[in-house]
Amino acid sequence: MACVGALAKMWRARRGRRTAAGQVQSRLPRSIEGTMNPIIVIPARMAASRLPGKPLADIHGRPMIAWVVEAARAAGIGPVLVAAAEAEIVAAVRAAGAEAVLTDPALPSGSDRVHAALAAFDPAGRFDVAVNLQGDMPTMLGADIARAVAVLQRGGDIATLVSLSSDPADRDNPNVVKAIRAADGRCLAFTRAAAPWGEGPIERHVGIYVYRREALARFVAAAPSPLELREKLEQMRALEMGMSITADAIVDFPKGVDSPADLEAARAALAG
């Protein structure tokens, strides 16, 4: 419980100024205003091996998906859409005053769900940048979502975020995905192994992808790649296809909710 309390204290200290609804204030950086037309799409499904039904898990009287929608709105970069695998998620999202599209529950990944929802919501392709924000990240900061979008302005196909850690437990944990980057921010690999070798922190991958719309279409049209299947990391497919992924580092690590313990940590972090 001490770890949960420390996480909550750190999170509340860094959440920044909120609106009356509790949203972190942010806006699209001036450097990318008028040059991209982004939309945030949040894939969500009820099936989860360790925490079934987690999009509707209660966090202080609201379903978790509503907290993620709030963070996405707080980024201030464009509309927010939930790509839901089940009707009950659609109902919860609409009750929270947000847009949702029902997608095929059999879709193999969050990126496939984002692509399907966009095809239904925006068939004309008005939005040229798609932000894939995982639906189990209720502690994500709106400002960091906006930062990920700004990274794509540098060029490349996909942008994402990383967060440094010097904790040996993170280095050795296969559930903590490590990014290996060049000095200019280009991602060279992602792995569950303890990497890179040697002294120094690791860079934990944050579960957000900012796709150029055409890059998303290419990605979902391709078959899973050998390293993707071996590591169980879909981002390796993009690298094996020759696509570029660029990442920026952020201070806070918005850990996804994958277990009952993670849910309790999120409740503590979002209290008050």
Give pLDDT tens digits along the chain (272 positions): 444 444 344 434 444 433 333 444 444 554 455 589 999 999 999 998 789 999 999 999 999 999 999 999 999 999 999 999 999 999 999 999 999 999 999 999 999 999 999 999 999 999 999 999 999 999 999 999 999 999 999 999 999 999 999 999 999 999 999 999 999 999 999 999 999 999 999 999 999 999 999 999 999 999 999 999 999 999 999 999 999 999 999 999 998 999 999 999 999 999 97
Tokens of 130: 């798609």
122-to-63, 126, 251 alpha-carbon distances in Å: 26, 7, 34
CATH of 2-269, one of 3.90.550.10, 3.40.50.150, 3.30.360.10, 1.20.1050.10: 3.90.550.10
* Residue that is written with structure tokens 């002294």 in the block: 199
DSSP reduced 3-state for 98: coil
Q: How many CB atoms lie within 10 A of CB 110?
A: 22
**pLDDT in the model for residue 34:** 58
Closest CA to 76 of 17, 118, 137, 120: 17
65-to-57, 250, 266 alpha-carbon distances in Å: 8, 23, 12
For the entire predicted model, the pTM comes to 0.87
> CB–CB of 27/76 below 8 Å?
yes
Task: Write down how long the chain is.
Answer: 272
Give the pairing of strands 80-84 and 38-44: parallel
d(CA 149, CA 207): 13
Residue 147: how many CA atoms within 13 Å on its side-chain side? 17
**pLDDT in the model for residue 10:** 42
Burial 220-234 (b: 16+ CB within 10 A, else e): beeeebebbeebebb
**Element (DSSP H or E) covering residue 133:** strand 129-133
* Residue that is written with structure tokens 């559930």 in the block: 175
Residues paired with residue 180 on neighbouring β-strands, in sequence order:
189
Burial 47-76 (b: 16+ CB within 10 A, else e): eeeebeebbbbebeebbbbbbbbbbbbbbb
Instruction: Collect all residues with Cβ–Cβ distance below 8 Å to 97 and sequence separation of at least 6.
Output: none
**pLDDT in the model for residue 50:** 81
